[in-house]
């Protein structure tokens, strides 16, 4: 499917955007934490340096994570996103790209899972399964970093036209997010 003009503009505008503070903090927490990154003898991968970028868009977080030494598995449901990232990171064997959704992606074990500005576009009836898959893939001591969309956000307004970008909008209260993160330490 051809992406809308708005999606193309969004990818153009964000491909080299500044890294968000929450992701910088998440990387620092991984560095400071005791993630069990013991090498898997078969794959010879140090999993404390494996990250997943969920809904990777134009790839700016992939670039940041690679600069911090992570092997990055990234997925997005938009073919346009994956095509752009293939062009951008095609020569880098430590960037593994898939066109997939939150529920079809095959999550590897990872110390860091990023879902910035994407999890709230996961269809609500898929959220439970997506969350099960994400939490199962996170190593003990690992970090999940995400943004959520509260009821006061303009995108939550009934007058907002979300059709041009990603039409699904999961609006969550702080209470709901805290319930979802039950068992996690929140930073
Ligand atoms: C607002 S963009 C954010 C892109 C990137 N994370 C960033 O922060 O620059 C949301 C991205 O999530 C992707 N996306 C939305 N719903 C998705 C889903 N259910 N499964 C996978 N990707 C999804 C979109 O295609 C889009 O690339």
Sign of the CA dihedral with 126 first, then 2, 169, and 134 last: positive
Mean pLDDT of 10-20: 97
Q: What is the DSSP string of 89-157?
A: HTT-TTEEEEE--TTTS-PPPEEEEEETTTGGGS-GGGHHHHHHHHHHHEEEEEEEEE--B-TTSGGGS
DSSP 8-state assignment for residue 74: E
In the predicted structure, residue 95 carries a pLDDT above the cut 90: yes
Residue 78 Cα: closest atom of ligand 1: 25
In the predicted structure, residue 148 carries a pLDDT above the cut 80: yes
Residue 81 Cα: closest atom of ligand 1: 27
Instruction: Please report, for the chain, the start and end positions of each structural domain, with discontinuous segments joined by +.
Output: 44-180
Nearest-angstrom CA–CA distance, 40 and 106: 18
Q: What is the pTM of this model?
A: 0.94
In the predicted structure, residue 96 carries a pLDDT above the cut 90: yes
2 pLDDT band, cuts 50/70/90, is confident
Give the pLDDT confidence score for residue 38 in this predicted structure.
67
Q: How far is the CA of 153 from the centre of ligand 1 (A)?
A: 17
Q: Is the CB of 29 under 6 A from ligand 1?
A: no
Domain made up of 44-180: CATH architecture: 3-Layer(aba) Sandwich (3.40)
For residue 30, what are its two tokens?
Answer: 């991984």
Give the pLDDT confidence score for residue 154 in this predicted structure.
85
Give the pLDDT confidence score for residue 37 in this predicted structure.
67
Lowest-pLDDT range of 24-38, 138-152, 173-187: 24-38
* Minimal-distance CA residue to ligand 1 atom 11: 55
Give residue-wise pLDDT tens across range 35-47. 776 666 566 677 7
Nearest-angstrom CA–CA distance, 183 and 70: 26
Mean pLDDT of 3-22: 95
Q: Is the CB of 111 under 6 A from ligand 1?
A: no
Nearest-angstrom CA–CA distance, 83 and 124: 27
* Minimal-distance CA residue to ligand 1 atom 10: 118
Q: Which residues contact 115 (CB under 8 A, 6 or more apart)?
A: 54, 55, 102, 134, 144, 145, 146, 147
Mean pLDDT of 58-76: 98
| Planar angle of CA 148, 153, 157, nearest 5 degrees | 120
């Amino acid at each position: 499917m051809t992406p809308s003009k708005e999606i193309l503009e969004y990818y153009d505008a964000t491909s080299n955007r500044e890294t968000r503070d929450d992701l910088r903090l998440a990387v620092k927490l991984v560095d400071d934490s005791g993630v069990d990154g013991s090498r898997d003898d078969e794959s010879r991968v140090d999993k404390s340096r494996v990250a997943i970028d969920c809904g990777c868009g134009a790839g700016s977080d992939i670039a940041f994570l690679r600069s911090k030494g992570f092997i990055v598995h990234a997925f997005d449901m938009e073919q346009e996103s994956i095509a752009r990232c293939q062009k951008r990171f095609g020569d880098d064997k430590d960037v593994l790209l898939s066109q997939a959704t939150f529920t079809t992606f095959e999550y590897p074990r990872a110390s860091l899972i990023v879902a910035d500005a994407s999890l709230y576009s996961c269809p609500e009836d898929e959220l439970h399964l997506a969350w099960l898959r994400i939490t199962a893939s996170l190593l003990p001591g690992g970090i999940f970093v995400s943004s959520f969309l509260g009821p006061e956000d303009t995108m939550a307004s009934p007058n907002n036209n979300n059709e041009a970008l990603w039409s699904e909008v999961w609006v969550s209260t702080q209470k709901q997010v805290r319930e979802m993160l039950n068992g996690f330490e929140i930073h």
